[in-house]
Amino acid sequence: MDKKSSKTAIETRIYDSTKELADAVAGAFKADSMEARKKGKKFFVALSGGRTPRAVYERLAREPYRSEIPWADIHIFWGDERCVPRGHPDSNFNMARDSLLEQISIPQNNIHRMRGEERPDQEAERYSLEIINTVPDSDVGIPRFDWIFLGLGRDGHTASLFPGASSLEETERLCVSAVDPESGKKRLTLTLPVINNAGRVLFLVTGKDKADIVAEILTAEKGKKSYPASLVAPTAGLLELYLDDSAASSIKSS
Ligand code: 6PG
């Protein structure tokens, strides 16, 4: 069971282990996707790269989720991707394919890959259109993902929204090119307008190396948005932070 911490604008859920965290997220994913199916709706999700998201995908690829989640009604997008050739080990698509997509029966047309091998700016434009043509708008005229998974970097980046990047100021485009300041490598990323329009945004964060950034983000005085991850604030959706004990070790749990 998660040990609820104090409820702020973000719902923080703390688990003893990555396994427990992954089980909890997989259970919630099944519940929400089946709820959508009951209403005759498709379910739109954007996956993240990263260590903890991978653990969740691996859990979704096993029973009972493998066979009980209505994968045929689920459309899978990515929150970000590295600009690398197809098949490159750094690709977030390849990570999701190996950890989840190859283990479930989901129509190929439901898988919307960011083409990291294409010219970044052209692909960002194409991908924005693919989202617009597939994901229904909410009442503010922006496509609304049901779920968006996010990781958290030690520098407070999320998706491929890095500190100080111009992509943080983007108000129109849904997907833009980006540069990882550490490696200088190009990336593609969803922008804050579409992330903050999602129904449910889940940060998936484990490991002692994330404890400081988690504490900084959760304890920053109100309004001090000094990290990209701090700018994630769904206007009408649910914002959750899933942590294991190690990543939560610098915050007080109530
Ligand atoms: C990526 C991710 C990125 C990642 C964080 C955390 O493409 O790398 O989208 O935002 O989620 O860097 O990664 P870890 O969970 O592996 O530390």
Q: Ligand 1 mean position to 157 CA, how many Å?
A: 8
Residue 225 scores a pLDDT above 90: no
Q: Which atom of ligand 1 is nearest to the CA of 52?
A: 15
Confirm or reject: Cβ of 49 under 6 Å from ligand 1.
Answer: yes
Rounded to 10 degrees, what is the CA torsion of 173, 139, 229, 224? 110
* Sheet containing 238-244, strands listed edge to edge, beginning at the edge strand earlier in sequence: 3-4, 11-15, 238-244, 200-205, 147-150, 43-47, 74-78
Q: What is the DSSP letter of 240?
A: E
Q: CA 78, CA 150: separation in Å to the nearest integer?
A: 10
Q: Select from 18, 51, 242 the residue to mutate for testing ligand 1; criterion: most ligand atoms less than 8 Å from CB.
A: 51
Question: 72: which residues sit within 8 A by CB, 6+ positions away?
Answer: 105, 106, 107, 110
Q: What's the pLDDT tens digit per position in 193-218?
A: 999 999 999 999 999 999 999 999 99
| Residue 2: band (very low, low, confident or very high) from pLDDT cuts 50, 70, 90 | low
User: Residue 137: how many CB atoms within 10 A of its CB?
Assistant: 11
Q: Which atom of ligand 1 lies nearest, measured to the CA of 80?
A: 9
- Residue among 87, 85, 80 nearest 53 (CA): 80
User: CB–CB of 34/69 below 8 Å?
Assistant: yes
- Asked whether the beta carbons of 163 and 227 are under 8 A apart, the reply is yes
Q: Tell me how far apart the alpha carbons of residues 211 and 205 are, in angstroms, rounded to a whole number.
A: 9
pTM above 0.85, yes or no: yes
Out of 18, 25, 48, 244, mutate this one to test ligand 1's pocket (max ligand atoms within 8 Å of CB): namely 48
Q: Is the CB of 48 under 6 A from ligand 1?
A: yes
Is residue 50 lining ligand 1, measured as CB closer than 6 Å?
yes
Q: State residue 226's pLDDT score.
A: 84
Ligand 1 contacts CB of residue 80 (under 6 A): yes
CB distance 197 to ligand 1 below 6 Å: no
Q: Are 188 and 120 in contact (CB under 8 A)?
A: yes
Distance of CA 141 to the CA centre of its chain: 21
Nearest to 206 by CA among 9, 24, 53: 53
- pLDDT of res. 83: 98
Instruction: Give the SS3 label for residue 29.
Output: helix
What percent of the chain shows pLDDT beyond 70?
Answer: 94
In the predicted model, is pLDDT for residue 8 greater than 70?
no
The reply to whether ligand 1 has any atom less than 6 angstroms from the CB of 120 is: no
Could you tell me what percent of the chain has a pLDDT over 90? 91
Helices (H), the chain: 18-38, 51-60, 65-68, 92-99, 120-134, 192-195, 211-219
User: Across the chain, what does the average pLDDT equal?
Assistant: 94
Pick the atom of ligand 1 nearest to 160's CA.
Answer: 10
pLDDT digits (tens, 9 = 90+) for 49-81: 999 999 999 999 999 999 999 999 999 999 999
Give whole-number Cα distances, 39 to 3, 30, 35, 136, 177, in Å: 31, 14, 7, 15, 35
* pLDDT score recorded for residue 252: 60
pLDDT for the residue numbered 185: 97
* pLDDT bracket for residue 136 (50, 70, 90): very high
Question: Quick one: pLDDT at residue 233?
Answer: 95
